[in-house]
């Protein structure tokens, strides 16, 4: 079945590509649906957004719980500080904005107001990676894993699809300290048929294999699954792990993959430095293991400006792109 958002990307030229195709509302309003369910049974949930409720679907939460919703306007840094104040009184604030703003514009507030003070604030950083397409470098979040992973007391997780968004909101709600929840464009193809019950600090095994392991996160997870299915036709059995937790990292799963398979490829919609690939390489190096290893990520540069689906193909963040990277790893 044709993806309507991808089809729109293909048909529209840069002059006519507009906000509706670049910012589809999250499927089934996944963030709002999960937060509404939680708010129905918990009175400590509050939601804040920086003038983006209509694009991220949180206007549904606002309609149901107007007294527990704050729109700060285009004041993302103030929103983070406000959330820290709310958390200090016992509330659990969920703040939502574009990942580029959450991680880069608000880096000081994340570090000093939230991480240093260990405030229980959950950052819903949506439209991560290059999913903002034509909005360009200012709206591309390709450094956010590196930035947040380096902050003490900060938990960093990444959702592969809509059900993963719900699962991460649900399973991280009672963790101490802030949680950075990396969310994509809202048009990711399904990885999880049901809402997963994620285990703290653990990857999720999605396919078994011993020829190689692909450890992917976010958008890269479905690409890794598609690649594994294609490679299976060539007699290459690939293990696929969803790196849903980026910090703390699943050392056990990484070391098992290093010892049991012919090599490790990491896949991420992120700069090649400081992200998933770097985290996995650290574990391998610290264990003193000599294995085949490669990172499949965006280049150490600024992404082109184009529709997201075209950018994903251009940078190989697709099934065929990941399959080619595995073949090169094993060559």
Cβ-based neighbours of 48, under 8 Å, separated by 6 or more: 69, 70, 71, 72, 79, 82, 83, 93, 94, 95, 96
Question: For residue 187, what pLDDT is reported?
Answer: 79
Question: For residue 26, what pLDDT is reported?
Answer: 56
| Positions in the chain whose pLDDT score sits under 70 | 1-29
Question: For residue 14, what pLDDT is reported?
Answer: 42
Question: Are the C-beta atoms of 80 and 110 separated by less than 8 Å?
Answer: yes
Question: For residue 8, what pLDDT is reported?
Answer: 44
Domain ranges of the chain: 19-182, 204-330
Q: Which CATH class is domain 204-330?
A: alpha beta
Instruction: Provide the CATH number for the domain formed by 19-182 in this structure.
Output: 3.40.50.970
Q: Do 204-330 and 19-182 fall under one CATH topology?
A: yes
Question: For residue 29, what pLDDT is reported?
Answer: 62
Question: For residue 269, what pLDDT is reported?
Answer: 98
Q: Is 260 helix (H, G, I), strand (E, B) or coil?
A: helix
Q: Render pLDDT for 41-79 as a digit per residue (tens, 0 to 9).
A: 999 999 999 999 988 899 999 999 999 999 999 999 999
């Amino acid at each position: 079945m044709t993806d309507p958002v991808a089809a729109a990307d293909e048909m529209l030229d840069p002059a006519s590509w507009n906000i509706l195709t670049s910012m589809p509302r999250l499927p089934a309003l996944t963030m709002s649906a999960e937060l509404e369910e939680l708010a129905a049974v918990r009175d400590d949930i509050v939601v804040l957004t920086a003038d983006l409720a209509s694009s991220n679907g949180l206007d549904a939460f606002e309609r149901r719980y107007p007294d527990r919703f704050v729109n700060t306007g285009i004041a993302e840094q103030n929103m983070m500080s406000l959330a820290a104040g709310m958390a200090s009184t016992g509330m659990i604030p969920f703040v939502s904005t574009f990942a580029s703003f959450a991680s880069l514009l608000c880096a000081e507030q994340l570090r000093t107001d939230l991480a240093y003070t260990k405030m229980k604030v959950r950052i819903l950083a949506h439209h991560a990676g290059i999913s903002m397409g034509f909005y360009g470098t200012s709206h591309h979040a390709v450094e956010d894993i590196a930035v947040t992973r380096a902050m003490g007391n900060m938990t960093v997780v990444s959702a592969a699809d809509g059900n993963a968004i719900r699962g991460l909101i649900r399973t991280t709600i009672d963790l101490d300290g802030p949680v950075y929840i990396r969310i994509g464009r809202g048009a990711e193809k399904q990885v999880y048929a049901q809402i997963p019950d994620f285990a703290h600090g653990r990857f999720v095994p999605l396919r078994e294999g011993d020829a190689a392991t692909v450890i992917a996160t976010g958008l890269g997870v479905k690409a890794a699954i598609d690649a594994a299915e294609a490679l299976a036709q060539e007699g290459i059995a690939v293990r696929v792990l969803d790196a849903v937790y980026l910090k703390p990292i699943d050392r056990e799963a990484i070391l098992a993959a290093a010892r049991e398979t012919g090599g490790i490829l990491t896949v991420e919609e992120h700069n090649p430095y400081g992200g998933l690939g770097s985290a996995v390489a650290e574990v391998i190096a610290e264990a003193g293991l000599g294995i085949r290893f490669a990172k499949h990520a965006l280049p150490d540069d600024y992404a082109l400006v184009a529709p997201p689906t075209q950018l994903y193909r251009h940078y190989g963040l697709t099934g065929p792109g990941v399959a080619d990277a595995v073949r090169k790893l094993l060559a």
